[in-house]
Structure 1
């Protein structure tokens, strides 16, 4: 399927401020094999400047010289985060560009990268609680219950921003082609307000109780904003959007 099936969030590969000490970068389209075809996804990463002055990078997208220069102007990049086992492909490139940065592994990502023959190594593992390196600025938990993958989610306290990868996808109808809208509907991802895609939701069947406790914790953080890796993110009313997007867990 052509990348023309979905529009980019221009401009790409450039820092966009979200709030104080937090930025997003919209990246290029990537494709994944699903439902017998190649599905295009817009990409997005998040940069947080910690109270130490160090930079924390969630789900790195393509690194360009221009983007590297912008990031270097913010401070020293020290942490590269894989939030789940399908968000890791660019970490190897970033680690080579920033040899002093630590690469943090999500559950299952080491095995996944080896299976896909993508050269990336990790220095530490993400757990249910934040490590000392960013505990002063970010909360985190492993969102459990899926038979396919766990995702590590983060909450930036200073900006009241929840940072997700694939637990919510929010494809805007006016940014996708008619054919792609039909495919999204078939896949159960055509909700204009965003939610987890059907194939991912199905992997939680029989284990929703574990996920409900994770959702309860995220709601207790009371986010004002919710950043997603794919599609439109929520700049306000974050807690209400989170509750609505996860109504399938009820």
Structure 2
């Protein structure tokens, strides 16, 4: 299944010490979803890998060529499925889990382990290089978001999805405008928005913090990411929450 983001399983430079990896498409709710990981090389040379995509020898060798694989980030309750594959190949790497991830993985019988929890502030291992927080307000979706200071890049997972018409089947082109995540007006899917309905004020506070980071770029897990005008894209995508 093509994704529109070939070549796959290949680190592609985004800025200084940061790469994206476009992975194979998966099926979610019967729909093909492109996948994307982000790799950051920390100042000590260690690799920090966000939402690891499915691993193969090509990708493992390419990652190892960039530095030691040290941190594997499962940023929300959906994006953890391939962490165990990376652990098996790089057993010394630490696996970091957003709230709810470890419990869901255990319930689904997934092999592997999670070593550390992700919190509202970065751990000492990447403090000063990558800022982070757990976005508040949802009774279901607890996503860790990150800001890489050197490259001025915000790293999201599912809070914005931005599927391009050219990369999806015709029937998704009919559905996705209703869901609210079709390029060029990609945003948080409407079913996810509903989970923030009682505490939108908390979401708004966290969005304002992201905007204050003033990112130049915004990387997404699904669809076209924003290589420029990152802060403006944030304001556009979240206008429904910022301007009640």
TM-score, normalized by length of structure 2?
A: 0.96
Equivalent position of 1:218 in the other structure: 210
1: CA distance, partners of 2:90 / 2:153: 26
Deviation, structure 1 residue 107: 0.4
Alignment map for 1:79-90 (pairs within 5 Å): 79-90=71-82
Equivalent position of 1:115 in the other structure: 107
Equivalent position of 2:150 in the other structure: 158
For the aligned residues, what is the CA RMSD?
Answer: 1.2
Query: Which consecutive unaligned segments of at least 5 residues does structure 2 have?
Result: none
Query: Which consecutive unaligned segments of at least 5 residues does structure 1 have?
Result: none
Q: Does 1:209 align with 2:201?
A: yes
Deviation, structure 1 residue 15: 0.8
Q: Does 1:145 align with 2:137?
A: yes
CA contact (8 A) 1:59 1:83 kept: yes
> Partner of 1:73: helix, strand, or coil?
helix
Deviation, structure 1 residue 116: 2.0
Worse-superposed segment, 60-69 or 109-118: 109-118
CA contact (8 A) 1:45 1:60 kept: yes
Q: How many residues align?
A: 242
CA contact (8 A) 1:170 1:233 kept: yes
Deviation, structure 1 residue 179: 0.9
Equivalent position of 1:10 in the other structure: 6
CA contact (8 A) 2:165 2:183 kept: no
2: CA distance, partners of 1:189 / 1:237: 18
Detail structure 1 runs of 4+ shifted over 4 Å in the superposition. Answer: none
Q: Does 1:24 align with 2:20?
A: yes
Deviation, structure 1 residue 190: 3.1
Equivalent position of 2:181 in the other structure: 189
> Partner of 1:144: helix, strand, or coil?
coil
TM-score, normalized by length of structure 1?
A: 0.94
Deviation, structure 1 residue 174: 2.0
